[in-house]
Amino acid sequence: MATETVLDRFLRYVRIDTQSKEDSESYPSTAKQLDLLKLLAKELKELGVPRVDMDEYGYVMATIPSNVKKSVPVIGLIAHVDTSPEVTGANVKPQVIKEYKGGDIVLPGDPNIVIKESENLSLKLALGKSIVTTDGTTLLGADDKAGVAAVMTAVQALMTDTKIQHGEVKIGFTPDEEVGAGTKFFDIKKFGAQFAYTVDGDTPGELNKETFSANVCVITVEGRDIHPGSAKNVMVNSVRVVSEIIARLPKNISPETTDGYQPYIHPYVLEGGVGKSSVKILFRDFKTEGLAELKKIVDSVVAEVRSMFPNAKIDVKVTEQYRNMREGVEKDTRVADYLFEGAKRAGLHPEWKPIRGGTDGSRLTENGLPTPNIFTGGANFHGRMEWVNVWGMEKAVETVLNTLQIWVEKSK
């Protein structure tokens, strides 16, 4: 395989539709994710990686042998291939803007879609550099194909440049991260890493060792459907009931009104009719114990609405999703400290920033594999205004390679 830049790879990967799907009964949730996973397995082999495996669930795992004599912890690099269910990932037409000069960016496929400089502070880091956007009709797929491209470009460097010292390196590509199932069948023991990094962040220089703890709440309302002409004192309209619940959720604990370490309650899927309706609600808090407090708020709202509609049946079910990775990462500070130093050596001014979301690393850390997160240079994920700073992807590659070398330097 000819030497490729991280941009070359990124432009190829985003043209492959890998959109995942919620509530699917298959794994991966969409078969099309396998198209990119199979390609990555093929490309790893073409790069000369001696051990490459793709299992029945679609996970691609590979091993790059150590090139040093000393004992070094085994380090994993992980990225996910799927894109958000929220916006189509088919027929992506990326446009490369060279030497971005500042200002708003009107997207050619839909002039109503504008990436506004005032709303994208990280565009300042892209002045004079190349950026990639969608054409405005689809998402771009930088989340997380920018990470996939960065990992593959780092693999290329490890396989071709013998001056880069490293211990054994494990590579992992996962499906279904966007629907909360990226590690559902991920075999940590088989993967074989002692520490790992997901490459799945955004602004160049931002590193993550904290994520939300997360639960999902599903409220189902069963009413009574009858012809509207004879409905008086008989009909129980579940649409009205669930609407009353949503209307009573506190406005000051929502994604639109919170930032930093503030928690939120977020109704995000509404379905139904007169006879039966449901709403899915996200609970997010950096303090795991805070999730119970969010549940109490919802229970109080539901109790109030039950008194208004005594003939409606209202069921509340809460399911655990993932937990804040901080506690697990801090059990051995090397995994974070060496990453921070790796970013500094790349010429950046790194900072730790909490993720108002989760990554595959949240669940992996909870299950015993400490996995902080590395930036990719992307922004505006999950929407048609998504874009990526090519320099940011390049710096992600540098940070990965620097970090692997620091693990060698610090090992006795």
Known catalytic residues? 82, 177
54: nearest Cα among 190, 193, 194, 196: 190
Q: Is the peptide bond before 65 cis (omega within 30 degrees of 0)?
A: no
Which residues have C-beta within 8 Å of that of residue 405, sequence separation ≥ 6?
Answer: 164, 165, 166, 342
Judge whether 115 and 387 are in contact, CB under 8 Å: yes
Distance spanning both ends of the chain, measured CA to CA: 36
Judge whether 272 and 239 are in contact, CB under 8 Å: yes
Partners of 180 in the β-ladder: none
Residue matched to tokens 């208004």: 308
Q: Can you give the chain as a three-state secondary structure string?
A: CCCCCHHHHHHHHCCCCCECCCCCCCCCCCCCHHHHHHHHHHHHHHCCCCEEEECCCCCEEEEECCCCCCCCCCEEEEEECCECCCCCCCCCCCEEECCCCCCCEECCCCCCCEECHHHCHHHHHHCCCCEEECCCCCCCCHHHHHHHHHHHHHHHHHHHCCCCCCCCEEEEEECCHHHCCCCCCCCHHHHCCCEEEEECCCCCCEEECCECEEEEEEEEEECECCCHHHCCCCCECHHHHHHHHHHHCCHHHCHHHCCCCCCEEEEEEEEECCCEEEEEEEEEECCCCHHHHHHHHHHHHHHHHHHHCCCCEEEEEEEEEECCCHHHHCCCCHHHHHHHHHHHHCCCCCEECCECCCCHHHHHHHCCCCCCEECCCEECCCCCCCEEEHHHHHHHHHHHHHHHHHHHHHCC
Number of CB atoms found within 10 A of residue 160's CB:
11
